[in-house]
């Protein structure tokens, strides 16, 4: 009877060890499951953010395509004319630079008036009038060109389907 009890005790001990090992494995598996669930949640959040970013990029691309078409930077087939777009961007930068130069000139005129330098002021005013006339003529030419490009584009659109912006 002693050996049977010893056998049963050994078997009971072995079973307890297996139960303890199984419980440790269960805890580890649950922790791994939580880690995977957290990783999945994080990946889904990243995917949602990427989808939102992609949608914003598409909206921006569409807006830029419409703006390019409006500015006459699209050819008859709806392809982006990079040269024309660059030219329009350059003109915009030059206009901003010109505004800065004009503001500096106006500050000089104010200083001359405060200092009583009428002769220099008259000469600066004459130069400014000439520059204004020249810029007005450039503006009229640019507006005429834009009208012409828009008319050409409208005619070409009536024959083609729509706008496709090339990258």
pLDDT confidence band for 119 (50 / 70 / 90): low
Query: How far is the C-alpha of 109 from the C-alpha of 107, rounded, in Å?
Result: 5
Instruction: Of 21-30, 104-113, 119-128, give the lowest mean pLDDT range.
Output: 119-128
Mean pLDDT of the chain: 79
Instruction: Of 14-23, 117-126, 155-164, give the lowest mean pLDDT range.
Output: 155-164
What is the pTM for the complete model shown? 0.36
Closest CA to 153 of 61, 62, 68: 68
φ and ψ of 76, to 5 deg: -60, -30
Q: Is the pLDDT of residue 12 over 60?
A: yes
* Mean pLDDT in residue range 27-36: 91
pLDDT confidence band for 30 (50 / 70 / 90): very high
Q: Which of the given ranges, 11-15, 88-92, 101-105, has the highest pLDDT on average?
A: 11-15
What is the tally of helices (H) and strands (E) in the chain?
3, 0
Question: CB neighbours (10 Å) of residue 120?
Answer: 14
């Amino acid at each position: 009877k002693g050996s049977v009890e010893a056998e049963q005790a050994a078997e009971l001990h072995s079973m307890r060890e297996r139960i303890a090992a199984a419980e440790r494995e269960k805890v580890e598996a649950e922790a791994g499951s939580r880690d995977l669930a957290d990783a999945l949640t994080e990946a889904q959040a990243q995917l949602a953010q990427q989808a939102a970013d992609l949608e914003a990029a598409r909206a921006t691309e569409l807006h830029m395509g419409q703006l390019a078409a409006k500015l006459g930077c699209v050819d008859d087939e709806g392809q982006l004319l990079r040269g024309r777009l660059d030219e329009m961007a350059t003109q915009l930068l030059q206009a901003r630079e010109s505004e800065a130069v004009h503001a500096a000139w106006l500050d000089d005129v104010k200083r001359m008036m405060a200092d009583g330098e009428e002769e220099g002021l008259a000469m600066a005013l004459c130069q400014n009038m000439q520059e204004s006339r020249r810029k007005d003529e450039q503006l009229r030419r640019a507006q005429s060109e834009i009208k012409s490009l828009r008319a050409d584009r409208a005619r070409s659109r009536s024959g083609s389907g729509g706008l496709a912006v090339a990258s």
